[in-house]
Amino acid sequence: MQNHQRGSSLLEALISIGVFAFGMLGLAGMQTQLMQQSTHAQFRTQASYMAEELIGLASADAANVDCYRMTSSGPGQCGSAIATAAVADWRTRALAAFPGATAAPPTVTYANDGMLTVTILWQRPQEPAQHNYVSITNLYPGF
């Protein structure tokens, strides 16, 4: 009976090593996904912070809210030097903070109904998809 059982321990060991190696590959793939999600979360958090910063600046200077408008080509002209400098500084920091932001710069729109919209876009070089963060608030200069 022992002649038929010869090598079974070796076979069991090889199978267990294979199962362990397959599990380690799964863990490595999961670690890669976790790192990517962590990076996405970091950019979303930074975009949220920067959008709220600009909304705060516009709220504090509600009389010059039109000065905080910004197209993809840059901020518009405004009568307030302080607001113009603040928007230019914010835009420079936003372009530096997000990968691919120079190809799709942040925009800020202000509608006549009081809706202030801040849109921040980014795209990492190795990713095909472009990510965005949009923050909308109501801002009325008369209040």
Q: Is residue 131 part of a domain?
A: yes
The interaxial angle of helices 8-60 and 81-97, nearest 10 deg, is: 170
Give the residue numbers spanning the domain of 120.
Answer: 41-138
Q: Is residue 115 part of a domain?
A: yes
Q: Is residue 47 part of a domain?
A: yes
On the 0-12 / 13-18 / 19+ scale of CB atoms within 10 A, 86 is: buried
pLDDT in the model for residue 89: 94
Domain count, the chain: 1
SS (HEC) of 44-95? HHHHHHHHHHHHHHHHHCHHHHHHHCEECCEECCCCCHHHHHHHHHHHHHHH
Q: Is residue 26 part of a domain?
A: no
pLDDT (tens digit, 9 = 90+) per residue, 21-75? 999 998 888 898 888 888 888 999 999 999 999 999 999 888 888 889 998 888 8
Distance, CA of 65 to CA of 76 (rounded, Å)? 12
At residue 91 the predicted structure's pLDDT band, cuts being 50, 70 and 90, is very high
Q: Is residue 6 part of a domain?
A: no
Q: What is the pTM of this model?
A: 0.75
At residue 5 the predicted structure's pLDDT band, cuts being 50, 70 and 90, is low
Q: Is residue 25 part of a domain?
A: no
Q: Is residue 132 part of a domain?
A: yes
Q: Is residue 104 part of a domain?
A: yes
